[in-house]
């Protein structure tokens, strides 16, 4: 065995999709180093990437399948576990119908696995009840941008950022959450670009901003409409572009008149002058890139926020050119891919809708099964259906709803009511305690496949070490289960699955593994095997023909602060951790840096409440209450508090509101009302001091 | 003790094969668009084009992650030593210079047994840089592009042949083992080697005097506002420390399995606030500026005071890896410019 092998693969953390080498010494993972030639990270990595090797062999890894017996998990063989799962799933399907089964796929798994999971749900189980965590982060993007342009992804490439002249970043803590994209932004600023950041908090990226707009949480629509109002009023509209490439401008313009800058100032708390400056700077430079992330999408007006961004881009014609476009920053390493693969209740791979008879026939012919017509349930709706008893079984691959979903107490109750809960993961997680069967899966280092990063780059994941314990790659588990349920899935390797994907998915038509091996992946659309991939979208023509101006209206957040709950709580991630902490909290350096949950609170608010830095406070909402440490900082404005959602021992999602966007059902993680109280009331009276006479102390 | 030979280029692959038969051989190989140090399988994949590869060869002496010992049944302790004999081929002078300081850190006073054993079992075959990268600046520091002493075996590419130098007795014995491959150098070979040195020196794009920077800092001329601005750009990735051939920070953690306990040493960095956390949760370096500034102070002030040389050998790896562009070279040049402008 070789003593020092280095295998190029893709980082398992965020959507940047950095290229890294896994170091393998006699079959053991011993380190990580960045790829110097990779177009995204260019020899850099963030701290999570640098430590991506450690969690793989953590003692907590699930090593064997387990079935719950009298309230306790018993280890068993794969055959026993899979036979049991197949039998129970078929029983439930026969008794309650296929729609009584729900499937959660995973943005952490490969494209091949998501495709198979989607096929399993639709062809084997016979339901469209398949969804994944994109619902909770960027479903607004998929919904909003697809309606406007016909495609819901970053329109530019990451390497185009450094050539941009204006960067407008709204609702994204880029340097901490997409560090390598942050690096390119910093590069652009060094090269003279103007950086505009809109964020109620002051994230690190705002330190480099030329203009930082601190609007009130949940007022993004008003802010963006205010900017557009000024662009229209001052004649900065790209009229040629609007005429030739878009539709429905007139209706939109009528709505826009309502957003007079004075009204916008009142709603957002941002001065007219600032809004005017941003409007002029953004509209007048062609190489303007707009970026957004969870700050835009995780609201009950998530889709409207995205539409407003899309409208801004169309109004100024900043799309369809290099360094000019609209760029949603996707969170998970493969959330773009999981969406592309159709792990969503309403579409097959490549966003071919299930209600379209032609698309359905195509998949029916390929899969040789009759497919369900009705779109399925979303993540949050599945929880609701389980709570009401309509959903009997849930098969979860690589997700942890008991930490990631809003209003956790409710989710817990729903999980308890399921007849069958199958959890397939690499580590025990919070959801597992309610599971009936646990299936151990392989981590990113132990399997092949492809990930699609936020710039639509499909990259090869390469196996570096043998599976830990008796864990198996997710795709293998799905094929074995499927066989037991009477549908034979035969694949010799992930490359064969990719061939099937390419056959059925126009945008992935040329994405064959042997092509991806040559370069650091290809960007979709890549329709055929000679196509070089597409660095930026909507060149010469908007994907769906004409870009559509969709009217939006400003709606305040579902829950606003009042006398009892006077603060707005906004949640998010922090640099050293990642989502529900399954991997990073098992990495010693990362866990050591941020071992406990905290609440960021403005110094003025802290003083008024007698809260000291690092003291324990209780944060409560109408739905729950948690105890965390206070972190007094002016990064968070007055009246707003911020809590990271990684910590199961103080889960921010016990507090959050499950109010949903009406179109795509994304929950409003970014705004809910809470109160903050110090746990130990400060004793303000001076302590009585006993004065001791020195004479008394004298030893006699 | 230095001994010199000439190795015709045609003999190199034969020699490498022989080395590989006697120990494991690690060399810079071209894979998937990058050149990385890894175990040599196909001799023809060896690529000597790129000077400073990511990460530095310190990983062969002080690995990113290594098991120190294993505890079974709660009491039985088994030390885990890596006894493997290795040749690391194709490293550069800067990295060899770094080893000298790394040795002082790990071997003087308390001798780290893990490092010590690996060091004894590893022979470095370095190559004189005749194609420095734009990020390289060893030339101003005396740590490259070639070395007078301190190397195991040093090769200089003379076009059709290598000039080979053995820097110690162990290296001498290795060359002697295959002495039929090597010829005695002629006068012209010495001339040619000198030519290579000269032409290599002329190709450097950066010349930095860390000594001047050190004096400037010691004179108290660098204000906190400067370090504050530097800190703002820090992404806290730890890349500079991980990549640095001289940085020695590590952490120790226990992996408690059902069948035993694995005590593991991992790379860590002083740029993280938790690195110096004390019992009770006090963070002496909680402010980020303290940590960033400390890194430069350690390299530029404390290292020379303690170990007699800068904590930087000019390999330029931090320039490649730093996402915030606050690497040693950039900061040194900024400070030089500040100094120029009074």
Interior angle at CA B231, CA B230 and CA B235, nearest 5: 110
Strands (E), A537-695: 547-548, 567-572, 598-601, 616-620, 625-632, 640-644, 672-678
Segment B275-292, tens digit of pLDDT: 999 988 888 998 999 999
The parts of chain A modelled with pLDDT lower than 70 are 1-2, 681-700
Mark yes or no for CB contact A183/B39 under 8 Å.
no
Residues 22-51 of B with CB under 8 A from A: 24, 26, 31-34, 36-39, 41
pLDDT for res A685 = 52
Q: Is A2 helix (H, G, I), strand (E, B) or coil?
A: coil
pLDDT for res A404 = 83
Of A474, A489, A507, the position where a domain reaches its end is A507
Whether residues A602 and A643 share a domain: the answer is yes
Whether residues A207 and A159 share a domain: the answer is yes
Q: Which domain holds residue A367?
A: 74-133+334-507
Mark yes or no for CB contact B36/A21 under 8 Å.
yes
Whether residues A230 and A110 share a domain: the answer is no
Segment A345-364, tens digit of pLDDT: 999 999 999 999 999 999 99
pLDDT for res A172 = 92
- H/E segment holding residue B155: strand B153-157
pLDDT for res A42 = 92
Segment A659-693, tens digit of pLDDT: 888 888 888 989 999 999 998 765 555 556 566 66
Residue A602 and residue A636 in contact, taking contact as beta carbons nearer than 8 Å: yes
CATH number for A22: 2.20.25.90
- Mean per-residue pLDDT of chain B: 91
Whether residues A418 and A484 share a domain: the answer is yes
Whether residues A154 and A286 share a domain: the answer is yes
Mark yes or no for CB contact A186/B273 under 8 Å.
no
Contacts with A45 from chain B: Cβ below 8 Å: 237, 239, 321
pLDDT for res A699 = 57
pLDDT for res A143 = 84
Whether residues A180 and A285 share a domain: the answer is yes
Per-residue pLDDT of chain B (342 residues; tens, 9 = 90+): 568 999 999 999 999 999 999 899 999 998 878 889 999 888 888 888 776 677 888 999 999 999 999 999 878 999 998 888 999 999 999 999 999 889 999 999 899 999 999 999 999 999 999 889 999 999 989 898 999 989 999 999 999 999 999 999 999 999 999 989 999 999 999 999 999 999 999 999 989 999 999 999 999 989 999 999 999 999 999 999 999 999 999 999 999 998 899 999 999 999 999 999 998 888 899 899 999 999 999 999 999 998 888 999 999 999 999 999 999 999 999 999 998 886
Domain assignment present for residue A608? The answer is yes
Whether residues A362 and A429 share a domain: the answer is yes
Whether residues A85 and A163 share a domain: the answer is no
Question: Domain total for chain A?
Answer: 4
Token digits of residue A14: 């965020």
Beta strands B161-166 and B250-257, pairing class: unpaired
A370 has a chain B CB within 8 A of its CB: no
B84 has a chain A CB within 8 A of its CB: yes
Predicted ipTM? 0.94
A43 has a chain B CB within 8 A of its CB: yes
Per the listing, tokens 């007006």 go with A301
Whether residues A472 and A571 share a domain: the answer is no
Whether residues A151 and A271 share a domain: the answer is yes
For residues B171-200, one letter each, b for 16 or more C-beta atoms within 10 angstroms of the residue's C-beta and e for the rest, the string is: bbebbeeeeebbeebeeebeebbeebbeeb
In degrees rounded to 5, what are phi and psi of residue A139?
Answer: -60, -30
pLDDT for res A694 = 62
pLDDT for res A586 = 92
Whether residues A242 and A375 share a domain: the answer is no
Whether residues A474 and A615 share a domain: the answer is no
Residues 259-278 of B with CB under 8 A from A: 266-268, 272-274, 277
């Amino acid at each position: 065995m070789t003593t020092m092998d280095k295998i190029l693969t893709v980082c398992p953390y965020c959507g940047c999709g950095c290229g890294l080498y896994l170091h393998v010494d006699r079959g053991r993972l011993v380190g990580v180093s960045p790829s110097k030639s990779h177009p995204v990270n260019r020899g850099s990595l963030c701290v999570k990437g640098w430590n991506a090797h450690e969690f793989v062999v953590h003692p907590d890894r699930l090593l064997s399948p387990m079935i719950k017996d009298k309230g306790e998990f018993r280890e068993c063989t794969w055959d026993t576990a899979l036979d049991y799962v197949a039998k129970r799933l078929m029983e439930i399907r026969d008794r309650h119908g296929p729609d009584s089964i729900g499937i959660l796929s995973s943005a952490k798994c490969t494209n091949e696995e998501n495709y198979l999971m989607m096929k399993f749900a639709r062809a084997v189980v016979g339901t469209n009840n398949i969804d994944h965590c994109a619902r909770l982060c960027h479903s607004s993007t998929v919904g909003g941008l697809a309606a406007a342009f016909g495609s819901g992804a970053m329109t530019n490439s990451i390497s185009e950022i450094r050539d941009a002249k204006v960067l407008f970043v709204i609702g994204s803590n880029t340097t901490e959450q997409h560090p390598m994209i942050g690096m390119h932004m910093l590069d652009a600023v060094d090269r003279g670009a103007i950086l505009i950041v809109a964020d109620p908090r002051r994230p690190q990226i705002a330190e480099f901003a030329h203009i930082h707009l601190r609007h009130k949480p949940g007022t993004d629509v008003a802010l963006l409409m205010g900017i557009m109002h000024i662009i229209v009023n001052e004649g900065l509209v790209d009229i040629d572009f609007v005429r030739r490439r878009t539709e429905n401008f007139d209706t939109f313009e009528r709505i826009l008149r309502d957003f007079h800058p004075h009204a916008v100032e009142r709603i957002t708390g941002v001065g007219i002058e600032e809004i005017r400056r941003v409007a002029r700077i953004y509209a007048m430079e062609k190489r303007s890139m707009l970026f957004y992330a969870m700050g835009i999408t995780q609201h009950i007006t998530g889709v409207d926020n995205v539409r407003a961004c899309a409208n801004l881009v169309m109004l100024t014609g900043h799309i369809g050119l290099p360094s000019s476009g609209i760029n949603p920053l996707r969170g998970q390493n493969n959330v773009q891919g999981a969406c592309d693969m159709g792990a969503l209740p309403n579409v097959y791979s490549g966003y071919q809708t299930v209600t379209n008879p032609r698309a359905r026939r195509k998949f029916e012919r390929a899969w040789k099964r009759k497919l369900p017509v009705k779109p399925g349930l979303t993540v949050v709706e599945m929880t609701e259906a389980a709570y009401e008893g309509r959903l009997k079984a849930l098969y979860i691959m690589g997700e942890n709803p008991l930490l990631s979903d809003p209003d956790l107490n409710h989710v817990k109750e729903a999980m308890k009511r399921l007849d069958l809960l199958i959890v397939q993961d690499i580590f025990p997680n919070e959801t597992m305690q309610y599971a009936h069967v646990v299936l151990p899966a392989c981590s990113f280092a132990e399997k092949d496949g492809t990930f699609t990063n936020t710039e639509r780059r499909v990259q090869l994941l390469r196996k570096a070490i043998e599976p830990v314990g008796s864990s198996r790659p997710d795709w293998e588990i799905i094929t074995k289960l499927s066989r037991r349920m009477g549908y034979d899935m035969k694949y010799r390797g992930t490359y064969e699955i990719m061939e099937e994907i390419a056959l059925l998915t126009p945008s992935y038509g040329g994405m064959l593994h042997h092509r991806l091996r040559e370069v650091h992946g290809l960007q979709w659309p890549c329709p055929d095997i000679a196509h070089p991939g597409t660095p930026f979208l909507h060149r010469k023509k908007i994907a769906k023909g004409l870009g559509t101006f969709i009217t939006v209206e400003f709606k305040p957040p579902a829950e606003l602060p009042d006398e009892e709950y006077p603060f707005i709580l906004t949640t998010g991630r922090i640099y050293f951790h990642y989502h529900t902490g399954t991997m990073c909290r098992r990495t010693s350096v990362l866990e050591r840096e941020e071992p406990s949950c905290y609440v960021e609170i403005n110094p003025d608010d802290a003083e008024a409440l007698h809260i000291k830095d690092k003291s324990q406070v209780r944060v409560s909402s109408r739905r729950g209450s948690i105890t965390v440490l206070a972190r007094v900082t002016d990064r968070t404005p007055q009246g707003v508090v911020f809590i990271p959602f990684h910590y199961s021992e103080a889960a921010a999602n016990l507090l959050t509101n499950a109010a949903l966007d009406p179109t795509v059902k994304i929950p409003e993680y970014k705004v809910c009302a809470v109160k903050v109280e110090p746990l130990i009331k400060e004793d303000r009276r001076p302590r009585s001091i006993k004065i001791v006479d020195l004479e008394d102390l004298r030893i006699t | 003790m230095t001994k010199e030979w000439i190795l015709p280029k045609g003999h190199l692959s034969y020699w490498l094969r022989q080395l590989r038969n006697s120990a494991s051989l690690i060399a810079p190989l071209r894979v998937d668009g990058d050149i990385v140090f890894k175990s040599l399988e196909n001799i023809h994949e060896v690529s000597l084009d790129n000077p400073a590869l990511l990460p530095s060869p310190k990983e062969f002496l002080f690995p990113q992650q290594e098991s120190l010992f294993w505890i079974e049944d709660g009491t039985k302790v088994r030390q885990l030593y890596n006894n493997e004999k290795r040749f690391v081929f194709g490293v550069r002078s800067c990295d060899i210079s770094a080893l000298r300081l790394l040795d002082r850190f790990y071997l003087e006073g308390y001798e780290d047994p893990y490092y010590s054993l690996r060091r004894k079992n590893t022979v470095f075959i370095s190559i004189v840089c005749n194609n420095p990268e734009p990020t390289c600046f060893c030339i101003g520091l005396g740590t490259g592009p070639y070395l007078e002493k301190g190397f195991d075996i040093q090769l200089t590419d003379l076009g059709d042949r290598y000039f080979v130098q053995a820097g110690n007795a162990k290296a001498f014995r290795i060359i002697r083992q295959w002495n039929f491959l090597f010829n005695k150098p002629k006068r012209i070979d010495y001339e040619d080697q000198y030519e290579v040195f000269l032409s290599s020196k002329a190709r450097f794009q950066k010349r930095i005097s860390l000594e001047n920077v050190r004096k400037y800092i010691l004179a108290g001329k660098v204000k906190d506002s400067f370090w504050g601005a530097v800190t703002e750009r820090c992404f806290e990735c730890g890349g500079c420390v991980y990549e640095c051939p001289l940085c020695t920070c590590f952490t120790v953690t226990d992996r408690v399995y059902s069948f035993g306990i694995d005590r593991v040493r991992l790379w860590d960095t002083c740029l993280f606030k938790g690195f110096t956390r004390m019992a009770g949760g006090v963070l002496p370096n909680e402010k980020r500026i303290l940590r960033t500034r400390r890194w430069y102070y350690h390299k530029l002030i404390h290292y020379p005071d303690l170990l007699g040389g800068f904590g930087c050998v000019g390999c330029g790896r931090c320039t490649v890896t730093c996402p915030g562009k606050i690497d040693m070279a950039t900061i040194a040049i900024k400070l030089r410019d500040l100094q120029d402008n009074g």
